[in-house]
Amino acid sequence: MFIEQLIAFTTDSVGLERILRLVHSLLQIVVSVPILVGYAAALLHTEKFRATAGMAAVHGTAAAMLAGARDRVNLGRRFSRMFRFIESFHGAHQLYMQLMGGGLGNDATRAVAGRPHPKKRFRADLWLDVFARTFAGIYLLLETATIVDALDVPGLAVWGPERAAVLHVEGQRYWFLSLSCSVAATLVRMAHVARDVPMPPPTDDEKHAHMGSPLRGDDNGSDNNDNNDETQGQDKIEMLNEERLRLRRIIQSRMAQRRKWQRALQARLVVLLRKVVADGADVLLPGAVVGWTPLRPVTVGGVMLFTTLLTSYDVWLRCGREVAAAKEAEAEAAAAKAAAAAKAAEEKAAAAEKKES
């Protein structure tokens, strides 16, 4: 199971991007700490080179090599999300159409010209999601527009160094706004998590099992025959015991449903908490580029490492669920195939017996 999950994670597009981000963050930390650069220089250069070039040159060469590797890894990450802006804009449009009345296709015109959905028009988290996805799409679009300049090939540029740098900073602003809206939307969902995870309603079997009380309809008064008093008293006690058992089953069933709902609620809260922490920490990264949240380079690398591990866990769990679902589907297909083969064998045996007789 672990190997299959690892394969699914490393071949998943989001999982692969998380791996590259992990390498990027580690290189950022190493480049920012002189002692780590020294260790890297000791591993990358021979003793003869260190003796002839001097420690300052060795450190400078190692730092340049590590910085170049970091930039190349970052460029690979940018290529992996080159067309993600289409997904972001499409998601924002879909959500907006749902908020404005729901429906696509033939209902699109009615949704735009109609009134907002009465149950969703005041959903602050959904509107914040629309803004978050829109800002993310703008950021990814600007990142894609400057990817040719990021190749750093002499003579090959679309915007030029100065304008490409300006577009890069503007993209970071929109990334900051996108993450801020995402944090706000997640906080709103955490405040109203019971709305998104409602209590499961009782099933039809549970409704039928709990319907009818043995005491219902027993209001015909007492019998005048004194010989039946003792029998009626015993019947009354039995009905009371049955009623107690029925009520106990109802309470146990409701308590089991409530415990199940509480577990689902806690699981949802854990997911939301992990998301708000990751997005809240990631806000510091574009803020450092823009200048709104000044951070040292080593702090940027540490924050990137922390959020990478935090968000990779969700991708890892998703890959595990996909592997488990695939195995379950394979098991069901194998069971169905075996049942069909057994049925065919039985029919063949029955036909052979009929032929012999």
**pLDDT, tens digit (0-9, with 9 covering 90-100), for 163-181:** 999 999 999 999 999 999 9
Domain that residue 277 falls in: 81-195+263-290
Is 178 contained in some domain?
A: yes
As for how many domains the chain has, the answer is 1
Q: What's the average model confidence in pLDDT over 32-48?
A: 79
Of 228 and 247, which is predicted with more confidence?
Answer: 247
Q: Is the pLDDT of residue 107 over 50?
A: no
Helix axes 297-356, 229-282, angle to 10 degrees: 130
Q: Single out the residue of 213, 179, 182 nearest to residue 283, CA to CA.
A: 179
**Distance set, CA 272 to CA 132, 296, 304, 312 (Å):** 16, 28, 19, 15
Is 357 contained in some domain?
A: no
Is 124 contained in some domain?
A: yes
Look at residue 51 in the predicted model and tell me its pLDDT: 56
Q: What's the average model confidence in pLDDT over 296-311?
A: 96
Of 348 and 144, which is predicted with more confidence?
Answer: 144
Is 150 contained in some domain?
A: yes
pLDDT confidence tier of residue 114, bands split at 50, 70 and 90: very low
Neighbours of 20 (CB within 10 A): 19
Please tell me the pTM assigned to this model: 0.78
C-beta separation of 142 from 171 below 8 A = yes
Mean of all residue pLDDT scores within the chain:
84
Is 126 contained in some domain?
A: yes
pLDDT confidence tier of residue 23, bands split at 50, 70 and 90: very high
C-beta separation of 282 from 300 below 8 A = no
Q: Single out the residue of 107, 95, 74, 109 nearest to residue 137, CA to CA.
A: 95
What number of CA atoms fall less than 13 Å from residue 174's CA on the CB side? 19
**Residue 306 has which token pair?**
């922390």
Q: What is the DSSP string of 167-211?
A: HHHHHHHHHHHHHHHHHHHHHHHHHTHHHHSPPPPPPHHHHHHH-
Of 205 and 40, which is predicted with more confidence?
Answer: 40
**Residue 17 has which token pair?**
């991007």
Is 304 contained in some domain?
A: no
Is 27 contained in some domain?
A: no
Q: Where does 81-157 have alpha helices with state H?
A: 84-99, 108-113, 124-145, 147-150
SS3 content of the chain, % helix, strand, coil (to 5): 80, 0, 20
Most confident of 9-23, 49-63, 93-107, 219-233: 9-23
Cα separation, 121 vs 100, in Å, equals 7
Look at residue 131 in the predicted model and tell me its pLDDT: 97
Of 198 and 337, which is predicted with more confidence?
Answer: 337
Single-letter residue type at 153 = V
Q: What's the average model confidence in pLDDT over 303-307?
A: 97
Of 48 and 339, which is predicted with more confidence?
Answer: 339
pLDDT confidence tier of residue 110, bands split at 50, 70 and 90: very low
Is 277 contained in some domain?
A: yes
- Segment among 84-93, 97-106, 250-259 with least mean pLDDT: 97-106
pLDDT confidence tier of residue 112, bands split at 50, 70 and 90: very low
Q: Single out the residue of 145, 150, 153, 95 nearest to residue 120, CA to CA.
A: 95
Q: Is the pLDDT of residue 260 over 80?
A: yes
